Structure 1
């Protein structure tokens, strides 16, 4: 028997477990999937927007994997605490695969970034997704104008949630506190701002187009911004772009030609503006100062020395994620990843027997959920190539007993099912569908302690 620990139960961790039990090169594999949270699914539960029910339904396929009798879910087990470091894990399992993602947001590095009212989109998403680490977070949504800085799907998500009619969010699993705050929000205009042009943005077209379908919300793009993008004005350059970029150009072209209207809410999509300072007003952020940029001819942009200010009492930065070092594992601070060769963790220039990585901590925060499948497959292929030597390593007879002796009390699959039942009951009491429990005590109480 080959015993493997997978650290992290998001898509990369679940796909890794699925690859391990679905192959036939090593006939008897048992997998323990460990997660710091008492709930599985990672960013599918705590990152996908609550109004994206089709994407969230991926939990059904992830659940089917974790219910395999060869796979054991162990929630509320944090690696790096209570004597459970990577070295200790290697004493419990023949191999350990780290699928711990990229938990930290990137910063802008500009004056005023820490003013009240300035937040990372990561924190905003955790708040409206009921992540238990965000239980103490409160978002005031004052003023009529908000700025979202970024050109990817996270920027689109938070823009959409700010601009959407809160009544349309009531059927979702959004926690009651976030739903009430959005219902009381004074925000009526959201500026989604990118430092480069539409042909270089990383939106997926489906999510971008969705902004234009919100009831009671007008969407517009500034033709002067778009005219700075060579591909926008030159059909030959546009034809050479990847298909997704061409579709994005078509969407913003439509928005530039329409009247966003004066009533209700509005979304303004801006390009070629680089944030240089958050300006203070009455002790909090009051506006964002941007420098106009233009293409530099090499795929980037350069500043022009012309500036523009956009009023905002709320600023959300959505400029990417970074990996976080895990105590006991090597870490490349520049890339935000664990050094590896085809998924094998590299220590002191050589692969470390029994240690592997998959997902964002392996390749960086790139791709969509499906990108984790080939990533996991490569890592599992390396692990199986090493299986002969790994299976001869001496390991603990009972990893669960060792975890208990170290003070860990894992939430097993029945505990997770109890959480889902408690969330369904909470929703019924609120006159809604299932509603997430937003705090650690509530989750652990629902799981049975």
Structure 2
């Protein structure tokens, strides 16, 4: 096999378009593309031209001769896909859906949020002449979970920011960062100044375990820990106790594996990444020897993806072990085959370990003021009325001593100012992204916390298609308040693209001094201070947005978001 895909797909589809023999599947327009963990290279069709390597925005495609030992399982993974999905009906070139272009006349769209869904939506909008896009975010930094959610040892995944940088350089794109909708501006403010508003605000809340003791100190969300080690301003004071031997993570999705991997990693392997300084220092003093990852159901139902599992299984500095409660693992997929192989491994004395423990549910978090243990119960899988295996508690409980309990059982969206909200799903009710003419949603607030970074591209395309339909049919309302007047009301607060560039350049410069990609600024006031432009010769600041002239310097009024 000349080339191999080695990580979850960004769904940009650049590799599909670049491939001259259509050997990368599933492709846009094919069944399963939007839901696929990754794309695969057909070993029988690949002609080793390398076009896909240069096209991939995250460096995920590697010639088979350059695979590391940890990446070798991806050869079998790529091959096995085509045993089940041969794509015998493929045409000589990939069929990528054609994009409609709408001619517009000074149409202004506000996009709320600056993560992947927002950036992809902005890109789709800007492909239409006459459309201008302002991207709002409550933080002074864009890119959402790519900046603050992707693990620091996954620097290749963060290469997608190169694509985002190209999007933000387009004419008609503008950042309005450090502005929170619902606090600094209302939805009605945006509706009066823009033809349409697209909300791509993600799903920032986490789901609770619903067990006693969950509010003890040391019982926190795994996503809080992710934000902590990634330098998110909201999580700088997250309580992280690494002073004891064991930490328990409840849930077994990709976030759970990320946290387990980082908390057991050799800190010196992380020292060359963009991990925040304080977490790195904390990890250097860590006493953690074991991270126990609990899953209510069995190996076949595990929520983590194959790329994440392969990466974890390939580590040679940490033992990865499996506890399936004594039950035999039924091998019926590449995932269960790898988990079965891990179950045969034995621990190495003195080495840190990650234990994937299946068929185990939490009963209570135990402690006196802070976490001391977690009480769990073994489960049995029984089909419900629809045939879906459900975890049913069985037998006596067990108390497992630990220093922290990290819940990683899913995200949920928060209500959005001025929009309807479905509390059961944690989403804004919508029809293909349309809430009503002029108001739209994209990303997790639209569809729930599913998919990967690249899934947001197809999601954003669908939403923008609905917006363009409304534009062409005259369903969008003309603004009554000029955008520049609205932005003038934010004088002294906005961080624009130049401000973000100053933050980016400062972080990268500090990183270069220490052989790191960047050293993140994690304090919100410091981020805003770095974003400010230098004083001009007249003593006035130029902020890149229309502002009233003033003879004295403006001060930041930002505060830490809640």
TM-score scaled by length of structure 2: 0.73
Greater shift in the superposed pair: 187-196 or 294-303: 294-303
Q: Distance in 2 between matches of 1:269 and 1:311?
A: 17
Q: Does residue 380 of structure 2 align to residue 294 of structure 1?
A: yes
Q: Does residue 476 of structure 2 align to residue 413 of structure 1?
A: no
Q: Which residue of 1 aligns with 2:507?
A: 423
Q: Distance in 2 between matches of 1:225 and 1:182?
A: 33
Q: Distance in 1 between matches of 2:322 and 2:415?
A: 40
Per-residue CA deviations over 1:361-414 (Å, capped at 9, x if unaligned) read: 011111111111111111111111110455863315641331222557221111
Q: Which residue of 2 aligns with 1:59?
A: 161
Q: Which residue of 2 aligns with 1:348?
A: none
Q: Which residue of 2 aligns with 1:241?
A: none
285, 310, 313: which one aligns with 2:400: 310
Q: Distance in 1 between matches of 2:236 and 2:488?
A: 27
Q: Distance in 1 between matches of 2:177 and 2:510?
A: 22
178, 184, 189: which one aligns with 1:88: 189
Q: Which residue of 2 aligns with 1:77?
A: 179
| 5+ long unaligned stretches in structure 2 | 1-105, 533-555, 557-562
Q: Does residue 135 of structure 2 align to residue 30 of structure 1?
A: no
Secondary structure of the equivalent of 1:38? coil
Secondary structure of the equivalent of 2:454? helix
Q: Distance in 1 between matches of 2:395 and 2:351?
A: 35
Shift of residue 353, structure 1, vs aligned partner: 2.5
Secondary structure of the equivalent of 1:369? coil
Secondary structure of the equivalent of 2:362? strand
Q: Which residue of 2 aligns with 1:344?
A: 434
Per-residue CA deviations over 1:116-165 (Å, capped at 9, x if unaligned) read: 11110111011111111123334221210111111100000000001110
Q: Distance in 2 between matches of 1:343 and 1:425?
A: 40
Matches within 5 A, 1:25-424: 27-82=129-184, 84-227=185-328, 232-233=329-330, 238=332, 246-280=333-367, 283-298=369-384, 299-345=389-435, 352-388=436-472, 393-396=477-480, 398-406=482-490, 409-424=493-508
Shift of residue 223, structure 1, vs aligned partner: 4.9
Secondary structure of the equivalent of 1:342? coil
Q: Distance in 2 between matches of 1:365 and 1:387?
A: 29
Shift of residue 438, structure 1, vs aligned partner: 0.7
Q: Distance in 2 between matches of 1:362 and 1:62?
A: 21
Q: Distance in 1 between matches of 2:474 and 2:493?
A: 27
Per-residue CA deviations over 1:9-64 (Å, capped at 9, x if unaligned) read: 111001111111224xxx31111111111111110001001110111111111111
Q: Distance in 2 between matches of 1:390 and 1:125?
A: 44
Higher helix share: 1
Shift of residue 108, structure 1, vs aligned partner: 0.3
Q: Would the aligned equivalents of 1:353 and 1:390 in 2 still touch at CA under 8 Å?
A: no
Relative to structure 1, the CA distance from residue 442 to residue 430 in structure 2 (aligned partners, 3 Å threshold; closer, same or farther) is farther
Secondary structure of the equivalent of 1:219? strand
Relative to structure 1, the CA distance from residue 54 to residue 431 in structure 2 (aligned partners, 3 Å threshold; closer, same or farther) is closer
Q: Distance in 2 between matches of 1:222 and 1:394?
A: 61
Relative to structure 1, the CA distance from residue 284 to residue 397 in structure 2 (aligned partners, 3 Å threshold; closer, same or farther) is closer
Q: Would the aligned equivalents of 1:225 and 1:270 in 2 still touch at CA under 8 Å?
A: no
RMSD: 1.7
**Number of positions where the alignment pairs a residue of Structure 1 with one of Structure 2:** 424
Shift of residue 443, structure 1, vs aligned partner: 0.6
Q: Would the aligned equivalents of 1:194 and 1:270 in 2 still touch at CA under 8 Å?
A: yes
Greater shift in the superposed pair: 107-116 or 425-434: 425-434
Q: Which residue of 1 aligns with 2:88?
A: none
Per-residue CA deviations over 1:230-262 (Å, capped at 9, x if unaligned) read: xx33x5xx2xxxxxxx22211211111111212
Q: Distance in 1 between matches of 2:204 and 2:227?
A: 11
Greater shift in the superposed pair: 100-109 or 254-263: 254-263
Shift of residue 213, structure 1, vs aligned partner: 2.8
Q: Which residue of 1 aligns with 2:538?
A: none
Q: Distance in 1 between matches of 2:198 and 2:460?
A: 10
Q: Decide which structure has the larger Cα Rg and report it.
A: 2
Relative to structure 1, the CA distance from residue 140 to residue 430 in structure 2 (aligned partners, 3 Å threshold; closer, same or farther) is farther
| 5+ long unaligned stretches in structure 1 | 239-245, 346-351
